[in-house]
Amino acid sequence: METIENDGFIIIKNFFEKEKINDLLESSKQIFQTQFDYLNYDSDFKSNMIKLFNEHFDTFSNCGKMIQGGLIELYRLALDPSLINKIIELGVENPNMCTRPVLFFNHEKLAKEVQYYKTPLHQDWPSMLSSLNSLVVWVPLVDVDVNNGSIILYPGTHKFGPLNYSLSGGFSQVDEDYIKGITPIQPKMEVGDITIFSSLLVHKSGDILDDTIRWSCHFRYTDMGSKEFIERGYPTPYIYKSVVSK
């Protein structure tokens, strides 16, 4: 059985069928494309995204909200039985989604502040206050590597527990001192691969060097049967904000 106890994460190749991920990506893009067609935008998709962001920001933001709020393919993936079974297998015995599924379309020109396309060094747990064994699933919707900013993971940092942090654009940014001497992992992943990691694992986004849009989504699962989570009264502090601006 795969375990995340030592490193705090696992990477599973070919977990989802590529067709399922491609369908999610195309459904997400279609929401924007409908607006491009209405506005008679006729350039390539990335250029149209940037144009919409600059000329009709409210519309751009609303497209993102429609995706996050209820894109069926996104929620279907988060509730996929094979994924839920894997979460249970990894120790979250009574899983519950403690935040809505999130889908990202990251590019420097599609964000008003840097943290909205490149997340700083942080833990997810402080924004969730979920069970200490809670897990995050990161799913690239395109092939990712160092060139388009694949996620950067710091093995073993989940063992530090909740760390002191400062808020940076809604992210619980931690000090670089916590990762001194730790060799980071920036995995090369293909469509269909997933990374599952502890919500306590320190991680961040890589740099987008190839000027493409990095499409990805992530899901968060807490353990409703965790004794310490029950004793804390099931806190739910997560604040929903636009994925492109404050």
Q: Where are the domains of the chain?
A: 9-228
- Entry pTM: 0.94
Q: Which residue in 172, 41, 27 sits closest to 105, CA to CA?
A: 27
Beta-bridge partners for 214:
106
- Report whether 120 contacts 165 (CB < 8 A): no
**Contact partners, residue 130, CB within 8 Å, separation at least 6:** 98, 199, 220, 222, 223, 229
Per-10-residue mean pLDDT, the chain, length 246: 86 98 98 98 98 97 94 98 97 96 95 86 93 98 97 97 83 91 97 98 96 97 98 86 51
Scan for tokens 């590019």, then name that residue: 107
Max Cα-Cα span within the chain:
56
CATH superfamily of 9-228: q2cbj1_9rhob like domain (2.60.120.620)
Using alpha carbons only, how large is the chain's radius of gyration in Å? 18
Beta-bridge partners for 196:
10, 137
| Sign of the torsion angle spanned by Cα atoms 46, 50, 51, 57 | positive
